[in-house]
Amino acid sequence: MDMCDIGQVFSLPLFHTFFFIASFHHLENSLDRLSVLQNAKKILLPGGKIYMTNWNLLSPENERYARSKTLEYPDGSADFSIKIGEYQRFYHSFSLSEYQKLAEDSGLQLEKCEFGEKNSVVIFSL
């Protein structure tokens, strides 16, 4: 299902875990990112977790995408427009401070945040 719709489809805590695998980085603005996390939080059971992986497009390993960068933010994050095959898609590359702010603003805990050569792995928890 579309992660932006979880707050409309579910209203009670039902889930122990959410996985956003190579998807959260397609949300085009901070309000949508925060909304998804807040809605997920509402339907997580106590002790629930949100696991996500996102492209780490700012790493040296992903340098080939540097010219696709469309916007840089003061917190160290950036937006990209990348064409893969025939499709042009939006990607957001997160910074640690942005993940921390998302956790704070959504009322979640940033349990883990690791930046690898190609991806970031993040765990938010209640």
Domains of the chain: 15-125 (3.40.50.150)
Q: Which parts of the chain register pLDDT below 70?
A: none
Amino acid at 95: S
What's the confidence (pLDDT) of residue 13?
87
Output the DSSP codes for 14-76: -EEEEEEES-GGG--SHHHHHHHHHHHHHTEEEEEEEEEEEE-TTSGGGGGGGGGEEEE-TTS
CB contact set of 109 (below 8 Å; sequence gap of 6+): 103, 124, 125, 126
Q: Phi, psi (5° rounding) for residue 23?
A: -135, -40
What's the confidence (pLDDT) of residue 86?
95
Amino acid at 101: K
What's the confidence (pLDDT) of residue 41?
96
| The residue to which tokens 């977790």 are assigned | 49
